[in-house]
Structure 1
Amino acid sequence: MMTQNDYAAQQEALENERMILETVDRFLDRHVRPVAMKLEHEDIYPDEIVERMKELGLFGAVIPAEYGGLGLRPSTYAKVIEKIASVWMSVSGIINSHLIMAHIVNKRGTQAQREHFLPRFATGELRGGLALTEPDCGTDLQAVRTTALRDGNGYVINGTKTWISNGIKGTCFALLVKTDPKAEPRHAGMSMFIAEKGDGFAHSKRLEKLGYKGIDSAELVFDNYRISADCLVGGEEGHGMASAIAGLELGRVNVAARGVGVAQAALDEAVRYSQQRKTFGKPIHQHQAIALKLADMATRTEAARLLTQRAADALDRGERCDYEAGMAKLFATEAALENSIEAMRIHGGYGYSKEFLVERLYRDAPLLVIGEGTNEIQRLVIAKRLIERNPV
C-alpha cells in the first residue's frame, strides 16, 4: 500500500521527469532540428550539438548524482532517447555508447574506478563508448582476439576493434579483451578495461555508412598499448563478459527507445503528408489503402513504446531484464524499419527524395535491427529465457 510519503515522492519524480523532457524538447527545437538535415546529408560531426549536450548534462544522464550526473532512472532516460531519435537518430548514438561505458563502471567497477572516471564521464571531459566488435567477431563475443597480457604492474594490449561508435571523437572506451586466451569456457578468460587513448592506441579513418551519418564509426587499433592494472574493471580478470552484458542491457533499452523514436517520426511524417497530398479529388488518408497503413503504423509505434517502457521499468527496479530488453529491442527496431518503409510508400516518389525526412529514416532504421546484438540473437535470448522461466 502506497503511503503519503511514497505518493509525494512519486509525484516529485514525475514532475522532475516532465521538466527534463521539456528541456530536451527545447534543445531539439533550437539546436538540432534546424541543422539536422544539412549535417546528416553532408555527414558532418555535430560538434556544436555535442557542446550543448554537455551543458545540459546529457553525458551524465544515468550517472548517479553523487558523481556529478543527472541520476536519471532508465525509464526517464529511454524517454529522452526516444525524443532525440525522433529528430535525429545519430545524436542519440553519441550519448548511448558513452553511457553504456559509464553504466559498466558504475555497476561493475571498483569504488576507486567510480570516483576516478564517473565525474569525468558526467561532464563529457572523457567521452567514448563500448569496444566489443572485431573484424572477425561480431555476435560471438567469446571469439574476440584482442589480448591483454600481464606485464609487471600493468598489461600490454594488442588487437583491433571495428564499427566502434565515437571511435574518432571519443577519448575513452570500455574495451573487451582476452586476458587468458586458452581459458575454458572461453568467457572465463575475458576481461574489460577502461582504456584512454594514448601511445599504442590509435583510430582508423571514419567508416562510410548507408545511414547513421554524422556520428563517427571507426576501427580502434591497439599496438603494444600499455595500460595500468587499475583500469581493469572490477579489479579482477575473468569478468569481461558479465561487464559487457551489464552494459548491453542498458544499450538494448536505448536502441529500443531509438526504434520508437524513428517509428514515431515516420508515423508523424506519414500522417502529415497524407492530409496534404490529394489524389482523385480527396486527401490520400481518405483512401482505404492509406488508412490501413496509418492504423498499423500507429499500433506498432504504441506497442513498441509500451514494451520499451516495460524493459526500462525493470532496469529501474534493478532486475535482470535481458528477456524484456530483448523483446523491446526486437519489436521496436522492427517497427522502425516497417514504419520507415510504409512512410516512404505513402509519400510515393517524394519519399525517395532527399528533400523529405522519410528518406533519412529509411536509411537509419536498418542499423537498429543490427546494432547492440542482431534481432536474430534477440530471438534466441528471448526463447532461452522463456524456457528457463517455464520448465516442464
Structure 2
Amino acid sequence: MSKYRFETDEHELFRTTIRKFLQKEAEPYYEQWEEDRMIPLGFWKRMGEMGFLCPHVEETYGGLGLDFSYSLIILEELERIGTSLIGIGLHSDIVTPYIESYGTKIQKEKWLPGCVTGDHITAVAMTEPGTGSDLANIKTTAIRDGDHFIVNGQKTFITNGIRADLILVVVKTDPDAELKHKGVSLLMVEGDSPGFSRGRKLNKVGLHAQDTAELYFEDFRVPKENLIGEEGKGFSYLMEKLQQERLVVAISGQVASEDMLEMTLEYVKSRKAFGRTIGSFQNSRFKLAEIATQVELGRTFLESLIEDHIAGKDIVTNVSMAKYWLTDTAKQIANECMQLHGGYGYMEEYKIARRFRDTPVAAIYAGSNEIMKSIIAKNKGL
C-alpha cells in the first residue's frame, strides 16, 4: 500500500500504532470471531482505550479532534484484517457524525463520550423489508404523543444490529406529507425496552463476524428529546451524510483489492506447476498486470477524493463513481485472484476464499451500484 500525498510523519506513526495493535488484538482471533459470528465487546473497548473509535469527536466529548485522514488510516487497517470489521467504521464514521452535526449539546454530552470509549455501540436503521435505497418511501412511523414518539415498523439488514445500544432510526413522523421526503425524521433509540425487539442474527454469505439483524418496533415509546435535528429534515440529513458513508465503502473496496493483489502475488511466486512457478506463466503475468493497474488507478482516484472530502467539497458525483467502480472492481479481482489460487483458493484456510465471499456485498450496501449510476447520470444532466 503506497503512502498518500497528505500523510505526515504523524500519520505514519499513527498507522504503525494501529497496525501493531490489530496484529496483536485482532488478527490472531479473527477466524474464531468468524466462527462465533460475533466480534467480542472486549475488542470494541480496547479500540476505545487506544483512541481508535471516533477520533474526529471533539476533545470536549472525549475524542481526539482529528480530521478524516486519521479515520481513513483506521478504516484501511481494519479492512486489511477483514471486512467483518466494517461495523466499527460504521459506528465511528457513519453514525456518530449524525450526533456531532445535528445533535443538541445535551445529546452530545450524553452519547458521544460512550461512542469514543466503546461503551456505546451504534447502528443506523434505514433499510426495511420492502424499502432499500428508496428512503422517502419507508413505512416505519413515529407519531407524536405528548412528550414521546410512538414508533411502529420493521428494519432489516442492520449492521451492528445485535450489539448496538444506540440506534439511529429513520422514521416517518408525517406519513401524510405531500412531499414524501419531507415527512422523514431521525430518532435515536437507546438500548432494549418494551416495544423494541431484535430479530434473528442474519446468516449471511460473508461478513460472518459482523452482526447483522432485523429490528422490530411495536408501539415503542421514544422520548421527544431523542429526535436528532429538526422534525421532517431527516431526509436532507441523510443526503448530506451519504457522501462520507459511500466514501467509507469505496475505501474498503480499494483496500480489499490491494490485499488480494498482495496475497496472490505472493502465492503465484511460490506455487509450482509443470516445474515452474505459476507466476511465470503468461496468463498469470497478464492477469496480475491488469489487476495491478486497476489497483493503482483506483488508489489515485480515491486519494484525490479523500483530499477534496477533507477540504469540505461537494463531491457526491465522484464519490458515487468511486463507490460503484471500486467495489465492482474488487468483485472482479476477487474472482480472478481465487482462480489464480486454483483449488486452494476455494479452501477456507486461504484468505482469498474469505475475500471472495465478503467482497460482493459492498456493491449492494450504502446504496446499490445501480443507484450510484443513477446519481451519476442525473448529475450529468441525463
Q: Offset of 1:42 from its aligned partner?
A: 4.4
How is 1:346-365 mapped onto 2 (pairs within 5 angstroms)?
Answer: 346-365=340-359
- The structure with the greater share of residues assigned to helix is 1
Work out the CA distance in 1 between the residues paired with 2:295 and 2:282. 20
Work out the CA distance in 1 between the residues paired with 2:339 and 2:130. 37
Q: Offset of 1:228 from its aligned partner?
A: 1.5
CA contact (8 A) 1:87 1:265 kept: no
The counterpart of 1:171, out of the listed 154, 161, 165, is 165
Residue in 2 aligned with 1:23?
17
Kindly indicate whether residue 375 of structure 2 is the aligned counterpart of residue 381 of structure 1.
yes
CA contact (8 A) 1:98 1:130 kept: no
CA contact (8 A) 1:101 1:247 kept: no
Kindly indicate whether residue 238 of structure 2 is the aligned counterpart of residue 244 of structure 1.
yes
The counterpart of 1:128, out of the listed 122, 128, 132, is 122
Residue in 1 aligned with 2:216?
221
CA contact (8 A) 1:147 1:177 kept: yes
CA deviations on 1:285-341 (whole Å, 9 max, x unpaired) are 111100111111112222222333222222211222211221221122112111111
List, as ranges, runs of 4+ consecutive aligned residues in structure 1 with deviation greater than 4 Å.
Answer: none
Kindly indicate whether residue 200 of structure 2 is the aligned counterpart of residue 205 of structure 1.
yes
Q: Offset of 1:98 from its aligned partner?
A: 4.8
Residue in 2 aligned with 1:303?
297
Amino acid at match of 2:204: K
Percent sequence identity over aligned pairs: 33
Work out the CA distance in 1 between the residues paired with 2:344 and 2:182. 53
Residue in 2 aligned with 1:99?
93
Residue in 1 aligned with 2:84?
90
CA deviations on 1:189-226 (whole Å, 9 max, x unpaired) are 10011211223222111000000111110011111111
Q: Offset of 1:86 from its aligned partner?
A: 1.7
The counterpart of 1:231, out of the listed 193, 216, 226, is 226
Work out the CA distance in 2 between the residues paired with 1:29 and 1:362. 22
CA deviations on 1:155-208 (whole Å, 9 max, x unpaired) are 111111111011111101111000001112110010011211223222111000
> Which deviates further from its counterpart, 308-317 or 38-47?
38-47
Work out the CA distance in 2 between the residues paired with 1:346 and 1:205. 37
Amino acid at match of 1:356: Y
Amino acid at match of 1:265: D
Residue in 2 aligned with 1:160?
154
The number of residues matched between the two structures is: 377
Work out the CA distance in 1 between the residues paired with 2:347 and 2:138. 41
Distance 1:41-1:300 versus aligned 2 partners, 3 A rule? farther
How is 1:269-280 mapped onto 2 (pairs within 5 angstroms)?
Answer: 269-280=263-274
Work out the CA distance in 1 between the residues paired with 2:374 and 2:60. 38
CA deviations on 1:112-148 (whole Å, 9 max, x unpaired) are 3333322222122221111100011111111111001
- SS at 2:16's partner residue? helix
CA contact (8 A) 2:125 2:168 kept: yes
CA contact (8 A) 2:86 2:210 kept: no
CA contact (8 A) 2:45 2:117 kept: no
- SS at 1:310's partner residue? helix
* TM-score between both structures, scaled by the size of structure 1: 0.91
Work out the CA distance in 2 between the residues paired with 1:20 and 1:172. 28
The counterpart of 2:309, out of the listed 315, 327, 333, is 315
* TM-score between both structures, scaled by the size of structure 2: 0.93
Work out the CA distance in 2 between the residues paired with 1:65 and 1:345. 48
CA contact (8 A) 1:94 1:215 kept: no
- SS at 1:59's partner residue? coil
Kindly indicate whether residue 322 of structure 2 is the aligned counterpart of residue 324 of structure 1.
no
Distance 1:152-1:44 versus aligned 2 partners, 3 A rule? closer
Q: Offset of 1:37 from its aligned partner?
A: 2.4
Residue in 2 aligned with 1:194?
188
CA contact (8 A) 1:81 1:254 kept: yes
CA contact (8 A) 1:102 1:118 kept: yes
Amino acid at match of 2:249: V
Amino acid at match of 2:333: N
Amino acid at match of 2:210: I
Residue in 2 aligned with 1:5?
none
